[in-house]
Amino acid sequence: MENTTQRIRCFVAIEIPRFIQNGLAHIQDTLKKQIRQVSWVKSDNIHMTLKFIGEVEQNQLSVIEPAIAQVTQRYPPFALQVGGIGAFPNLKRPRVIWVGVKVGGAEVSALARGINLELNQHGYPFDEGTFHSHLTLARIKNRIDLRPFVDVFRQYNEIENASMTVNEIALVRSQLHPKGAIYTILKSYALAS
With a cut of 60, say whether residue 2 has pLDDT above it: no
Residues 6+ apart with CB under 8 A from 139: 38, 39, 41, 95, 96
Decide if 117 contacts 111 (C-beta within 8 A): no
What integer pLDDT is reported at residue 180 of this predicted model?
77
Decide if 20 contacts 73 (C-beta within 8 A): no
DSSP 72-136: HTT---EEEEEEEEEEES-SSS-SEEEEEEEESHHHHHHHHHHHHHHHHTTTPPP--SPP---EE
- Residue 148: DSSP 8-state: G
Q: Could you report the per-residue pLDDT of 16-28, keeping only the tens digit for each?
A: 999 999 999 999 9
> How high does pLDDT run on average in the chain?
93
Q: Kindly state the percentage of the chain with pLDDT values over 90.
A: 88
What integer pLDDT is reported at residue 145 of this predicted model?
95
4 pLDDT band (50/70/90 cuts)? Answer: very low
Q: Could you report the per-residue pLDDT of 29-73, keeping only the tens digit for each?
A: 999 999 988 999 999 999 999 999 999 999 999 999 999 999 999
Decide if 83 contacts 159 (C-beta within 8 A): yes
CA dihedral 70, 72, 74, 75 (to 10 degrees): 170
Mean pLDDT of 89-106: 96
* Paired sense of beta strands 182-190 and 168-175, if any: antiparallel
What integer pLDDT is reported at residue 178 of this predicted model?
80
Please give the positions annotated as active site.
Answer: 47, 134
Label residue 134 exposed, middle or buried (CB < 10 Å: 0-12, 13-18, 19+): buried
What is the pTM (predicted TM-score) of this model? 0.91
Decide if 31 contacts 129 (C-beta within 8 A): no
Angle, vertex CA 114, rays to CA 112 and CA 120, nearest 5? 100
By three-state DSSP, how is residue 68 classified? helix
Q: Kindly state the percentage of the chain with pLDDT values over 70.
A: 98
Q: Could you report the per-residue pLDDT of 126-153, keeping only the tens digit for each?
A: 988 889 999 999 999 989 999 999 999 9
190 pLDDT band (50/70/90 cuts)? Answer: very high
